[in-house]
Chains A and B, each alone.
Chain A
Amino acid sequence: DGGITQSPKYLFRKEGQNVTLSCEQNLNHDAMYWYRQDPGQGLRLIYYSQIVNDFQKGDIAEGYSVSREKKESFPLTVTSAQKNPTAFYLCASSQAGQGETQYFGPGTRLLVL
């Protein structure tokens, strides 16, 4: 089955710790995205990548970093500089640019201990 996978489903972070969220897709999509969702709010774009080895900041990139070494993979690191990391993190992909339909992975819920 084609799709987007994210792991882990739940992640706990200690103060001052960096954590990495995994996102993999086998849809052969060029573009991938990371969003953050807080309770009662819409999705906010963290980073996006339209092609391998290239990525751009979204609206709330501070405290996050990404890499795009392979077409299938777009991991997100939540660094210690992100002071309010507790949220639901969603990875998405699309065939071409951001105007195209985006398909989402199941999400990772990050909690701070």
Chain B
Amino acid sequence: RKEVEQDPGPFNVPEGATVAFNCTYSNSASQSFFWYRQDCRKEPKLLMSVYSSGNEDGRFTAQLNRASQYISLLIRDSKLSDSATYLCVVNVGGTSYGKLTFGQGTILTVHP
């Protein structure tokens, strides 16, 4: 089983749609979780950290389910500019000095 696994997609959705991505991780001791966004041929940029209680930033909501070992990202009211690859990132070491492991990314295309 991969340490961090994402559905690669691609997800093709119309503007205004709601779309959700899931990501599973294998190490139950993992403590830090992030979603990054990567545009084509660019570097990854932090979208949001994922907290145990769940967190929201505008149209974006992140959830953590420790029992099932997955995190999710929900995007509401999709915009054309949301088209990108979304990377799930997990600290699999379980400490602040653990190793960050990146999923292979989920491709999102938002069309008019």
Q: Which residue of A has the minimal Cβ distance to B31?
A: A99
Residues of A within 8 A of B31 (CB): 99
- Identify which of residues 1-55 in chain B touch chain A, using a CB-to-CB cut-off of 8 Å: 4, 8, 31-32, 34, 41-46, 49
Within 8 A of B (CB), among A40-56: 40-43, 45, 50
Question: In the complex, A50 Cα to B44 Cα: how many Å?
Answer: 21
> Interface readout for B42-83 with A: 1 if CB under 8 Å, 0 if not?
111110010000000000000000000000000000000000
Residues in B with CB closer than 8 Å to A102 are: 100
Closest chain-A Cβ to B44's Cβ sits at a distance in Å of: 5
Q: How far is the CA of A99 from the CA of B94 in the complex (A)?
A: 8
Q: Which of B44, B46, B96, B104 contacts A99 (CB 8 A)?
A: B96
Which of A40, A99, A105 has the most C-beta atoms of chain B within 10 angstroms of its own C-beta? A99
Given A40-B8, A40-B104, A42-B103: A99 and B42 interface contact (C-beta under 8 Å): no
Total contacting residues, chain B, CB less than 8 A: 26
Once A40-B8, A42-B87, A106-B43 are accepted as A-B contacts, the answer to whether A97 and B97 lie under 8 Å apart by CB is yes
CB within 8 Å of A: which B80-112 residues: 87, 91, 93, 95-105
Interface centre among A43, A100, A105 (most CB of B within 10 A): A43
Does A107 touch B at the CB level, under 8 Å?
A: yes
Residues in chain B near residue A100, CB distance under 8 A: 32, 96
Which one of A40, A42, A96, A107 contacts B102 once the chains associate, using CB atoms below 8 Å? A42
For B91, the chain A residues whose CB sits under 8 A away are 98-99
Determine if B49 and A106 form an interchain contact, defined as CB atoms under 8 angstroms apart. Answer: no
Q: Interface on A for B, CB 8 Å cutoff? A: 35, 40-43, 45, 50, 88, 90, 96-107, 109
Please give the residue numbers on chain B whose beta carbons come within 8 Å of chain A beta carbons, in ascending order.
Answer: 4, 8, 31-32, 34, 41-46, 49, 87, 91, 93, 95-105
**22 A-B interface contacts by CB (under 8 A):** A35-B102, A42-B4, A42-B87, A42-B101, A42-B102, A42-B104, A43-B44, A45-B99, A90-B44, A97-B97, A98-B91, A98-B97, A98-B98, A98-B99, A98-B100, A99-B93, A99-B98, A100-B96, A103-B46, A104-B43, A106-B43, A107-B42
